Amino acid sequence: MPLYRDQAIVLRTQKLGEADRIVTLFTRSLGKVRVVGKGVRRTKSRFGARLEPGMMVDVQCYEGRNLDTVTQAETLAPYGDAIARDYTAYTAASAMLETCDRLTEEREPALQQYLLLAGALRSLAERSHDPALVLDAYLLRALAIAGWAPSFHDCARCGAEGPHRAFNLASGGSVCPMCRPPGSAAPAPETLELLAALLAGDWVVADGSDPRHRREGSGLTSAYLQWHLERGIRSLRLVDRETRVDTRRSDSPAVELGGHADRPSTTPVAPAQTGHRA
């Protein structure tokens, strides 16, 4: 099959030579592919903005010996353009695209991940919710699709019905008093409710949440993500938290994220004040 056509989201681009780019496409039916966009950096390129990160396109590619080459691209939804006009949304989208790139393998179809990313980008582009909430909802659900669904209610170890006070990354979320490993975190109950709502897609609860719990939830989410990935997600450090800066100092106890014994390379995160810093 020398020529193929598919729907795709542009995950990232890297400069190649004088005027070309290597474009990482997440296609709907083929999974992730790396293709060459010839001449895309020239101002007169016929691709224009179509092969920029966050754009959803209908592409046709020609299979090459090493890398495939894009021959045609039509815009399906210019999410990337709408997102780049809002810096907060742009940094959230960058973290989503990088996470998606890391959670998927080349040429392995992943329709659920594709649909999730498309929906999250649309939500950012349409300004439906706080970009930070959209990001956290995306991260939790992407992890769940990858097989790492955290538990925010029942005990992740024995299944004992929650809610439980303790949260432990290594155990996979909420843990009951019997299973609770030493050094488990004790986030606010509202934070766990928020995270459960984000995972389930309950936007009424999520939109009504308190900035303090959003901040704590973001810290737990990013720590949970970094726990499951070998290397950290670079964009997370740069997620713009300006829209949710709360002048009240958080009085909730610093969350301990213990239990890293078998994964020494992972740096624990102190979520409350610093936001994402892993």
Partner 1 sequence: MYEGVVQDLIDELGRLPGVGPKSAQRIAFHLLQSDAADVKRLADALTEVKAKVRFCEICGNVAEGEQCRICLDARRDGSAICVVEEPKDVVAIERTREFRGRYHVLGGAISPIDGVGPDDLRIKELMTRLASGEVTEIIIATDPNLEGEATASYLARLLGPMGLKVSRLASGLPVGGDLEYADEVTLGRAFEGRRLLDV
Contacts with partner 1 by CB under 8 A lie at 12, 17-18, 43-44, 46-50, 52-54, 75, 78, 80-81, 83-87, 90-91, 94-95, 97-98, 234-235, 237-239
The DSSP element (H or E) to which 90 belongs, if any, is helix 87-103
Q: Which does 214 bind (CB under 5 to 8 A by kind): Zn ion, partner 1, none?
A: none
Q: Which is nearer to partner 1, 82 or 220 (CB)?
A: 82
In whole angstroms, the minimum distance from the beta carbon of 95 to partner 1 comes to 7
Q: 81 — phi, psi (to 5°)?
A: -65, -45
86 binds, among Zn ion, partner 1, none (CB under 5 to 8 A by kind): partner 1
Strand segments (E) across the chain: 3-16, 20-27, 31-37, 56-62, 68-77, 166-168, 173-175
Residue whose C-alpha is closest to residue 191's, from 159, 158, 224: 224
> Long-range pairs for 108-113 at CB < 8 Å and ≥24 separation?
108/31, 108/32, 109/29, 109/30, 109/31, 110/26, 110/31, 110/32, 110/145, 111/28, 111/29, 112/145, 113/26, 113/142, 113/145, 113/146
Please say which residue, 70 or 155, places its beta carbon nearer to Zn ion. 155
Q: Report the nearest approach of partner 1 to the CB of residue 266 (Å).
A: 18
Looking at the Cβ atoms of 24 and 174, the one nearer to partner 1 is: 24
Contact set with Zn ion (CB under 5 A): 155, 157-158, 160, 176, 179
CB of 50 to partner 1, least distance (A): 5
Which one, 85 or 249, has the nearer CB to partner 1?
A: 85
| Residues facing 14 on adjacent strands | 22
> Which element (helix H / strand E) includes 11?
strand 3-16
Specify the DSSP class assigned to residue 76. E
Nearer to Zn ion (CB atom), residue 32 or residue 157: 157
Select from Zn ion, partner 1, none the partner in contact with residue 277, using the beta carbon and a kind-dependent cut-off of 5 to 8 Å.
none
81 contact, one of Zn ion, partner 1, none, CB 5-8 Å limit per kind: partner 1
Taking the complex as a whole, the smallest distance from the CB of residue 183 to partner 1 amounts, in Å, to 30
Choice between 30 and 76, CB closer to partner 1? 76
Residue 216: closest CA among 180, 185, 171: 185
